[in-house]
Structure 1
Amino acid sequence: MSQKENGVKKKEPSVPTVLKYAFGGIAAVAGSSIMHPMDLFKTRMQITSESVGKKPGIIHVITTAVKEDGIRGLYRGLTGTILRHSIYSTIRLGLFTSGTEYYRNKFDDSPTVVASVFIAIIAGALGSFVSTPADVCLIRMMSDARLPPEERRNYTNVINALTRIVKEEGLLTLWRGAVPTVGRAIVVNTAQLASYGQFRNLSEKYLGLQEGMLLHFAASTGSGLLTATVSLPVDLVKTRIQNMKVINGKPEYRGISDATIKTIRSEGTLALWSGYIPYSLRIVPNTILVFVFLEQLNTLYFKNVLGEVYKSKI
């Protein structure tokens, strides 16, 4: 809560708004770059399940990726990841931290669960829509090696992908899958951002943890597990729509419902969780890295610039 001095509310020290966005983007790009190979494995599992009608194991996907592309191939599409999170996570984390602080200052209390969910939805939806072009490029670059040689797009980097998609398929193709992308972002941000504060409170109350790295780790672990479980089906449908081919002038899927129904009919309901292990191994550590990096950046700013002890504002 805000401090009061002589009956007048004293404004709590905080990170400047521009740095809220910058710290969010830096933390997300760093975490996602480290975890990029797991994102590649997850995407290839989802695409391979679709093309061959069966669920490949994680070991098979990893060994095949290394055999076909080498170690460097594990970072195929990294420029897409960097661009995507430079846009998406800068917006979503910046909006969420700014919105959370605005609520605290206005109501002199931490946001309720409903308020946190609302802020997370707005932040995730806006960030994901703006970054959809980078997401389309990222999915295509990571899945390209799974296509027959004659069908591969062979993008050299994310800028090459952006320009070629616009030239060869039209500008609107960059927003293919925008609806499921926004839907996934709403699910992810609601589960990840809105739950982080709740897991912090639970960790403080039941585990007796105090402000610091261990508390950030515990809270982000719980948030990551919840996020991975509830968001994977939406992520899988989004991936398939963005990677689909147009055959004889007709797209493989007419929309979210069609892609979901076709997946369930051909592969079973559990196919919606294809790639759960690599997805979890990406989402959980990535959530931990993002929140730990973000909290440490805030801690360093409070300590070295404001000369204050940091207490999480997320």
Structure 2
Amino acid sequence: MAKQPPAERYIPNALKFAFGGLSGMAATCVVQPLDLIKTRMQLGGGNKSSFTVGKEIIAKEGLLAIYSGLSAGLLRQATYTTTRLGVFNYLFDTYKETNKTAPGFGIKTLMGVAAGSIGAFVGTPAEVALIRMTADGRLPKEQRRNYKNVADALLRIIREEGVLKLWRGATPTVARAMVVNAAQLGTYSQAREMFLALVPDGIGLHFCASMVSGLITTIASMPVDIIKTRIQNAAKGQSQVTVVTDLLRKEGVLSLWKGFLPYYARLGPHTVLTFIFLEQMNAAYFKYTAQ
């Protein structure tokens, strides 16, 4: 009698969400300084290099300042990344089970958009706290918010501005996430399939696919990311329309793509590390759990 092929193994849905969040949090611990520099450059309006901005932060605020906002960054990953990767993997597996074949690139892109928009809405409060905490050091001392940690930031925003302000800039945040996830999740999966014929499955394959995914995502998402950052850091009472029109009038349309290299320096490694950590967690689950 011929041997039956082994049944395809699946990771439980709850673990998909958990692995997604943990992989994003692990990546954030590595790239938080780059996220800080990226935010400062988006808010600064000048032409300083990322190296200059980094040196100024250390000189004026101390070495530990490069990890300003880490607690908010971790909460953002625990909410946003957990949700988006979990939803994407759930949709991917559901489609595969229903149609007995993997989804094509177009379907993957739509799944990425859906997963990103849901994740972004869930993660917006942490995003607001992150932007404010990473931006605080560039302000004069008397104007700083001086949030102690992400919990303090969220509680003070609710107390001083109202609970709805936790979702300030939710529209551009969701729009950015739709663009990022359409590009990142769809292109990563597609690039992984393309590189699989050239690179053995493993960290090397994950790195190559992630670098391609990160590059395309950076090009597509920079304009909405800059708008999102400016809105979430705006002073109380300043409307979103005013923030956007001031940006375009004073700095021009091309400012929406200003700082491409520092943006990719953050997004590229984070994309690489997130997917590498995620793939390793998936592999460990299959290795150490019974059939």
TM-score interval (norm. to shorter): over 0.9
TM-score by length of 1: 0.88
TM-score by length of 2: 0.95
**Per the alignment, in what secondary structure is the counterpart of residue 263 of structure 1?**
helix
The alignment status of 1:95 with 2:87, answered yes or no, reads: yes
Tell me the secondary structure at the aligned position of residue 180 of structure 2. helix
In structure 2, which of residues 209, 215, 224 is the aligned counterpart of residue 234 of structure 1? 224
* Structure 1 consecutive aligned stretches of length 4 or more whose deviation exceeds 4 Å: none
Asked if residue 296 in structure 1 is aligned to residue 286 in structure 2, the reply is: no
Match of 1:138 in 2: 130
- Deviation string for 1:207-253 (max 9, x for gaps)? x122222111111110011111111111100000000013xxx41x4
Residues 1:112 and 2:104 aligned together: yes
**Paired position in structure 2 for 1:157:** 149
Counterpart-to-counterpart distance in 2, 1:33 and 1:226: 23
Could you tell me which of 24, 32, 43 is aligned with 1:36?
Answer: 32
How many residue pairs align between the two structures? 289
SS of equivalent residue, structure 2 residue 148: coil
What secondary structure does 2:196 align onto?
helix
Q: Quick check: 1:66 aligned with 2:61?
A: no
| 1:139-174 deviation digits (Å, cap 9, x = unpaired) | 000000111211110000000001111111111111
Letter in 2 for 1:45: M
2:234 to 215, 219, 244: 244
Gaps (5+ residues) in structure 1? 308-314
What residue is the counterpart of 1:312 in the other structure? none
What secondary structure is seen at the aligned counterpart in 2 of 1:35?
A: helix
Q: Counterpart in 1 of 2:17?
A: 21
Task: Say what the alpha-carbon RMSD is for the aligned residues.
Answer: 1.7
Given residue 55 of structure 1, which amino acid in structure 2 is its aligned partner? Answer: N
Q: Using the alignment, how far apart are the partners of 2:245 and 2:193 within structure 1? A: 39
Asked if structure 2 preserves the Cα contact closer than 8 Å seen for 1:79 and 1:158, the reply is yes
Give the Cα separation in 2 of the matches to 1:146 and 1:110: 48
| Bigger mean CA offset, 131-140 vs 211-220 | 211-220
Gaps of 5+ in 2: none
- Which string of whole-angstrom CA distances, capped at 9 and with x for unpartnered residues, describes residues 290-311 of structure 1? 001100111111122146xxxx
1:179 positional shift? 0.2
Aligned partner of 1:194: which letter? G
Which amino acid in 2 is paired with 1:140? R
Matched residues, percent identical? 43
Distance 1:265 1:179 in 2: 21
Instruction: Report SS of the residue matched to 1:131.
Output: helix
Q: Which residue of 1 aligns with 2:203?
A: 213
SS in 1 for 2:240: coil
| Conserved 8 A contact 1:13-1:306 | no
